[in-house]
Amino acid sequence: MDNNNLEQITFGGGCFWCVESCFNMLKGVQSAISGYSGGHKDNPTYEEVCTGETGHAEVVQITYDPAVISYEQLMDVFFFLHDPTQLNRQGNDIGTQYRSVIYYKDDAEKTKAEEAIEKSKQSGRWQGTYVTELTKFEKFWPAEQYHQGYYNENPTQPYCSAVVGPKIQKFKKHFSELGMLNAG
């Protein structure tokens, strides 16, 4: 991976435990870090974000090599991993912190995000009105260390075995068939 040409993207698609673990499996992704963005409180804690009062979403910030994996491919994964038609929730996870959101850095990235949303709509994968927010990126706050790689460290935790695990298996099947996963 060429560290001089790495780029970042930040988005929220529900619980960051699901999203982060999947993105870390992709070829071309240097890191996927769970955290918080979009709110008004500096250095928020998980407990504060869970109240819904900080305005933050649970997000993943991905550092990637665009020579290996494109922004468009990352968006395909993003829309595979969550339902962009559920307002402020994913399944039984309810609250503004679980909203579907793409944080863009400039007008060019905003245009690419709009195109990705349109492509996802045209795919017919999700029925209903898309509620994915497009928001100008301001700040990313990494989540507490115990959230990083949470699923890998806690696969038998009830939420992980019931929700995260099945999502990861579906992801692995689909994206390994496309040759997009790291070996191992």
Q: 3-state secondary structure string, 20-78?
A: HHHHCCECCEEEEEEEEECCCCCCCCHHHHHCCCCCCEEEEEEEECCCCCCHHHHHHHH
Active site residue 15: yes
Is residue 168 within 8 Å of residue 151, measured between CB atoms?
yes
Cα 171 to Cα 161: distance, rounded to the nearest angstrom: 15
**Nearest residue to 15 via CA among 110, 107, 92, 121:** 92
Two structure tokens written together for 90: 């994913």
Annotated active-site residue in 15, 18, 22, 160: 15
The set of catalytic residues is 15
